[in-house]
Structure 1
Amino acid sequence: MKETRIEVTVLMPVFNSELYLRNSISSILNQSFTNFELIIINDGSTDESDNIIRSFNDSRINYVNNPSNKGIVAVLNEGLNLSNGKYIARMDADDIATPHRLKIQLQFLKANPEYKLCGTYALKMNEYGEKSSKIRPPKQYANIKVSQLFKNSFIHPSVMADASIIKSFGYKEEYKYAEDYFLFSEIIMHHKAINIADIGLYYRVHNESISATRISEMSLSERKTMQYLLSFLFDEVTEKRLIIHHSLLRPEQNDGVSIDQIEQHLLAIKQANQSKNIYVKNVLEKRLQKEWFNALIRSSENNKLLKFTSSNLFSLRFFNLKQFIKLYSN
């Protein structure tokens, strides 16, 4: 009898995840779609993670127990190399997948082979499992592509991707702490992608502080990713342009950027796209107006409403009453 090929590999890195690991693994093993392998890579955990993983008796689990910690990028690439599925789904050891997540994503990718990356919406969950607000990343490809220029448009543990595509790019150590942002940026600049408007994940949000070192490395990786994305628009991406652009995502880290510099940068993006046609014009210009609005709201400028509406970034068709009230009251 011919052996059925595994359709999906679920890749789950683990590091000191004893508090939530059992529920996370169970949520994958109890999926309505069953033709998958679950690769669990325990990256040198010092808690009870190893014992919890070994307590499961399911032939779909492929368990790798690393004796020492290699780091998330190395582990993710290790999982890609071990995978056998036509599609690869990510899962984190503290989140919970909804019962039909794999089925919904697989059905979409098989029915729409031009799409190579598929994420979902998520519902935030705290350390006690209490659920709160929805996370709604942009859905359609044109919106995702524009949004990615300013921030990551995917919830990493919600994604499923064509295995051959994600393996061809891989995760890169030099983009540590934003490795998913760069990987997804590479994919969407060459292939179509979507976020399905369905809750595929209960996404756990911790109150753990991030070290200053990690914040610094993450910011550096974000800037390098933005440099890659801006290079599709500009022949040269200067360090100054990068600082201005990154300030739109992390204004608290870029205090020296003026509102006039932001306006000129956003106008330069608009003009560059008019000649290079990288992004859908109205989608990009709507987002540029939103970024201009947010920058003004954060600023100490006087007459914000006048400055907003007098800019060449402004279009009446993208303006709404809430923006008017907020600008007027500021």
Structure 2
Amino acid sequence: MNPPVSIIMPVYNCGQYLTAAIESILKQKFTDFELLIIYDRSSDASDEIIDKYHKQDSRLRIHENRGLGIISALNCGLDLAAGEFIARMDADDISLPERINSQYNLMKKNPECILCGTWYKYINEEDKVLSEIPLPEHDSEIKTLLAVSAVFAHGSVMFRRSALGNLRYSEAKPNFAEDYRLWTELAFRGRLAVIPEYLYHYREYSASLSQRVSRELASDTAAAGMEYLSKNREFIFSVLPQLLSRENLSLKSKKQKKYFFSLVQQLGIKLVLAEYLKPGWYVFFCSLRSGQARPLFMLKYLFSLAALLLHAPGVYENIEKKLIKFKKIFFVCIRHNSGSGV
């Protein structure tokens, strides 16, 4: 009989953290799963670690995916998965013992739910907690904020295989936001949920990611978000009044409100740029995160409230001049930073 949960873990050169990642899965309270490790031939100790655990625990299934990259590995995992539910897991992160059990129980009790994440914490190379991310919990909030953020930590998600169908990660082009694009495709096939507990530790590297990769990730995430916004604009505007209502905000903790408003600000500037500038500018805008371009990136906060009120009766006339001024500032910064070689 097939296990109800398949956990997909792509592995390539993660030897330093792989043991902890595998152990965190094998020590889950929920035990009826298969751990699908899709590995490329690594130059570190990853292959030896995988082989050791494969011999020790029959729940591990391993598959070699030589030289084909992360997206191919993930798609291979989706094709091999036998479970009713599919969970993601990154080879350098940590799943807390209750994670799989909590997600499985929520999705089993709520058949309309097709994807479930959890709150998570950023940790560094020494496992020190850097920050805590208390995600929005409700379907309409998650679907709205997907326009500006992947929302979930990559490896923290569980989704329903029946909702996935033939949908796979896109291999059409280099893709630094592979999970985000899949989630935006899945979003309106059912309800999304978040468990309000810190059940996942997402590892952040201080020096190992190059500036180019960081820019590519920001650019690809921005492009995916703009595509999602253009498809679901009507829905987003229909639920915003309720999301920003005093009643809804009163239910959130101070930390939740802070995180929620940071995403709402990003949504605001995206709406301004989508409304008044070519969509490509937003992608360019989000790739400028450091150095001389940082002042330009920080401009995103200036007109977020105005953007959210764009479609409210009688408001447009009051903010039109500010938006025109914003466009002038924006293009001055573009010219300045282009001249600086950014």
Name the TM-score class by shorter chain.
0.7 to 0.9
Q: Counterpart in 2 of 1:205?
A: 204
Q: Say how many residue pairs are matched.
A: 272
Q: Which runs of 5+ in 1 are unaligned?
A: 276-291, 301-330
Query: Alignment partner for residue 7 of structure 1, among 4, 8, 20?
Result: 4
Q: Which residue of 2 aligns with 1:44?
A: 41
| 1:89 equivalent among 87, 90, 101 | 87
Separation in 1, partners of 2:202, 2:152: 12
Partner of 2:240: none
Residue 128 of structure 1: SS of its match in structure 2? coil
**Greater than 3 Å deviation, 4+ residue runs:** 237-241, 243-270
Tell me which residue corresponds to 1:192.
191
- DSSP-derived class of the 1:201 partner: strand
Following superposition, the deviation at residue 259 of structure 1 comes to 6.2
Residue among 18, 21, 36 paired with 1:21:
18
- The alpha-carbon distance between structure 1 residues 45 and 241, as it changes in their structure 2 partners (threshold 3 A), is same
Asked if 2 retains the 8 angstrom alpha-carbon contact of 1:241 and 1:265, the reply is no
Unpaired runs of at least 5, structure 2: 235-273, 314-321, 331-342
TM-score by length of 2: 0.70
Q: Aligned in 2, Cα 1:160/1:250: closer, same or farther, shift over 3 Å?
A: same
Q: Is the deviation greater in 212-221 or in 14-23?
A: 212-221
Distance 1:266 1:170 in 2: 37
- Partner AA of 1:42 in structure 2: Y
Q: Residues 165, 37 of structure 1: CA spacing in aligned structure 2 closer, same or farther, 3 A cutoff?
A: same
- Look up the SS of the partner of 1:41 in the other structure: strand
Q: What displacement does 1:270 show?
A: 4.7
Does residue 72 of structure 2 align to residue 74 of structure 1?
yes
More off after superposition, 239-248 vs 72-81: 239-248
Are residues 1:242 and 2:272 paired?
no
- Aligned to 1:116, the other structure's residue is in SS state strand
Evaluate the alpha carbon distance shift between residue 81 and residue 268 of structure 1 in structure 2; reply closer, same or farther with a 3 A threshold.
same
Distance 1:264 1:251, change over 3 A: same
Q: Which residue of 2 aligns with 1:33?
A: 30
Secondary structure at 2:179 match in 1: helix
CA deviation after TM superposition for structure 1 residue 265, in Å? 11
Higher helix residue share: 2
How many Å apart are 1:263 and its aligned residue?
A: 4.3
Please tell me the residue identity of whatever aligns with 1:17: C
Equivalent-residue separation in structure 2 for 1:238 and 1:251 (angstroms)? 20
Task: Give the conservation status (yes or no) of the 8 Å contact 1:8–1:37.
Answer: yes
Q: CA deviation at 1:129?
A: 1.8
1:163 counterpart residue number = 161
Distance 1:261 1:196, change over 3 A: closer
| More moved, 160-169 vs 93-102 | 160-169
| 1:284 alignment partner in structure 2 | none
Question: What is the root-mean-square deviation in Å for CA atoms of aligned residues?
Answer: 3.3
State the alpha-carbon separation in 1 of the partners of residues 310 and 104 from structure 2.
Answer: 36
- Contact kept, 8 Å, 1:244 with 1:261, in 2: the verdict is no
Deviation at 1:101, TM superposition (A): 0.7
With the length of structure 1 as denominator, give the TM-score of the two structures.
0.72
- Percent identity between matched residues is 32
